[in-house]
Amino acid sequence: MNTTTAELDGLAVAAAAAAPVWRASSASQRASWLRAAADGLEAHIDELVGIADEETRLGEVRLRGEVGRTTGQLRLFAAAVEEGSYLELTIDDADPSATPPRPELRRTLTGVGPVAVFSASNFPFAFSVAGGDTASALAAGNPVIVKAHSGHPRLSRRTADVVAAALEAAGAPAGSLALVEGREAGNLLVRHPVIQAAGFTGSLGGGRALFDLASGRPDPIPFYGELGSVNPVVVTDAALAARGEALAQGLVGSFTLGVGQFCTKPGVVFVPAGGGFEELVAGFAAGATGGPLLTDRITDAFPAGIAHLEADPSVAVVARGAAGGTDAAQPIVLSTDAAAVAARPETLLEECFGPVTLLVRYSSRDELLAALEAVPGSLTATLHSEPGDDVAAALAVLERKAGRVLFAGWPTGVAVTWSQHHGGPWPATTSLHTSVGASAIRRFLRPIVFQDAPVELLPPQLRDDALAGLPHRRNGVLRVPQPGR
């Protein structure tokens, strides 16, 4: 069911009309709208999970948990709106004696306007119609038009109906949330003059095409894309000696989680040569079970990606797991060496979406560092070491390559918090911002300064009576209101 150009124009007109209402809404109003959206999802959870399981085959347990994450995100942003620090309120009082004389300046952040959100296939709730991009854009004070993912169209439509109805019932304007379908509608959406920013989670090729469309508009707009990530892991000799079996078991659990369809899957793992890690991983991988992949396109691409890796003369198969049914993806562990990675990163470090990981043997510190330098930007990097290990050089490279560095555990699983950063250098993302956590709201805000403005014409949050209860900086001094005052 593809959205026509005329239908898209109608939705854009409604979003443009809703934008001033969202921008002018009070913190309490906007927070109540976000919580109403969360309540609406919870009220329809049985219906929505049933549809999602039919379309994605992810299972009821996983999907119910994902609804919880989605409603939690909406409520996190509601709390962030009420707390107020996201506005970055800053005031400089007038000072005629300064050189040059200083006028009164009052700065805040305001919503950019209607936002386009492109749904992801692998998280049909948390990164889809009512997911983090939508929640953060609404929290910033912007209506949203979502491009549905073709992998779960019925779920997309029903989720959009539920959330739009909940928003309007809570007092939000018509046009607050809308849905479009079809690739051409998505291309038109990112180019539509009403749209002022876009958020995307998906493939490198699809994201780059949309990024170019957003940049090529007569009025270019910011495009916040989460694209591809191999999420490197480094295991030191000491860590392998101390806990090799646990590390092997953890790796297998992580790269097969969700049938390897997490954007934070550990796709390339650097291990000491001759340490026996391959054998340990093979033992656990043999008992791992795969499953069906999310879409026909992903299903077709997985064996092609494996074949692309196996075509390199340095690559060998370490182990295969069980497919887990007809047309299911079979977990596979491959191996190569650090010299090959440094020489042919375009082949060996290309993301392969599905249950596969590549073990990379290194024989020296210099060999490891040369291979790490070839790793593209990633969402995460993981360093498994022991006290006393000299890992400063490797850590310095990983810090440049990723947005989140782990020192324990595995990268699959992204906590939704104030401090989280889910992003990284290209091609992990197209920006410096996060798509998960409270600071994701910053993507859909722009600064505005009011100079010598009459009090009655200032936005409410910039007036002195409101500032007394909000975090702000005045004349260079940070002021944080005390609880209960």
Is residue 478 assigned to a domain?
Answer: no
Lowest-confidence pick of 67-71, 244-248, 294-298, 352-356: 294-298
**Model pLDDT, residue 332:** 98
Total tally of structural domains belonging to the chain: 2
Q: Residue 327: which pLDDT band, with cuts at 50, 70 and 90?
A: confident
Does pLDDT of 154 surpass 80? yes
Averaged pLDDT of the chain: 96
Q: Please pick, among 55, 66, 181, 263, the residue that the annotation labels catalytic.
A: 263
Does pLDDT of 397 surpass 70? yes
Is residue 181 assigned to a domain?
Answer: yes
Is residue 218 assigned to a domain?
Answer: yes
State the pairing for strand pair 402-406/356-362: unpaired
Give the integer Cα–Cα distance in Å for 385 and 120.
34
pLDDT tens digit sequence for 450-471: 999 999 999 999 999 999 999 9
Q: Are residues 373 and 396 in the same domain?
A: yes
Is residue 481 assigned to a domain?
Answer: no
Q: Are residues 317 and 400 in the same domain?
A: yes
Strand partners, 116: 145, 198
Does pLDDT of 195 surpass 60? yes
**Model pLDDT, residue 485:** 52
Q: Residue 326: which pLDDT band, with cuts at 50, 70 and 90?
A: confident
Q: What is the pTM of this model?
A: 0.95
pLDDT tens digit sequence for 260-306: 999 999 999 999 999 999 999 999 999 999 999 998 899 999 999 99
Is residue 345 assigned to a domain?
Answer: yes
Q: Are residues 251 and 291 in the same domain?
A: yes
Under 8 Å between Cβ of 395 and 405: yes
Q: Are residues 38 and 125 in the same domain?
A: yes
Q: Residue 123: which pLDDT band, with cuts at 50, 70 and 90?
A: very high
Q: Please pick, among 226, 278, 351, 367, the residue that the annotation labels catalytic.
A: 226
Please give the residue range of the domain that contains residue 117. 5-227+431-447+456-465
Is residue 329 assigned to a domain?
Answer: yes
| Cβ neighbours of 476 (radius 10 Å) | 7
Q: Identify the CA nearest to 228 among candidates 342, 376, 373, 123.
A: 376
* CATH for 131: 3.40.605.10
Strand partners, 358: 268, 334
- The sign of the CA dihedral 192, 198, 200, 206 is positive
Q: Are residues 335 and 401 in the same domain?
A: yes
Is residue 93 assigned to a domain?
Answer: yes
Q: Are residues 257 and 177 in the same domain?
A: no
Give the integer Cα–Cα distance in Å for 69 and 417.
11
Contacts (Cβ under 8 Å, ≥6 apart) of 82: 27, 28, 31
**Model pLDDT, residue 484:** 58
Contacts (Cβ under 8 Å, ≥6 apart) of 459: 108, 110, 450
Burial readout 228-265 (b: 16 or more C-beta within 10 A, e: otherwise): bbbbbbbbbbbbbeeebeebbbbbbebbbbbbbbbbbb
pLDDT tens digit sequence for 70-119: 999 999 999 999 999 999 999 999 999 999 999 999 999 999 999 999 99
Give the integer Cα–Cα distance in Å for 391 and 148.
44
Q: Are residues 264 and 322 in the same domain?
A: yes
Q: Residue 323: which pLDDT band, with cuts at 50, 70 and 90?
A: confident
Chain position carrying tokens 């040059």: 100
Give the integer Cα–Cα distance in Å for 336 and 344.
11
pLDDT tens digit sequence for 414-444: 999 999 999 999 999 999 999 999 999 999 9
* pLDDT (mean) for 164-173: 98
H helices of 312-416, where? 338-343, 345-348, 365-373, 392-401
Question: Which is more confident, 413 or 319?
Answer: 319
Percent with pLDDT over 90 in the chain: 96
| Cβ neighbours of 392 (radius 10 Å) | 7
pLDDT tens digit sequence for 337-350: 999 999 999 999 99
Under 8 Å between Cβ of 230 and 375: yes
Known catalytic membership, residue 263: yes
* CATH for 317: 3.40.309.10
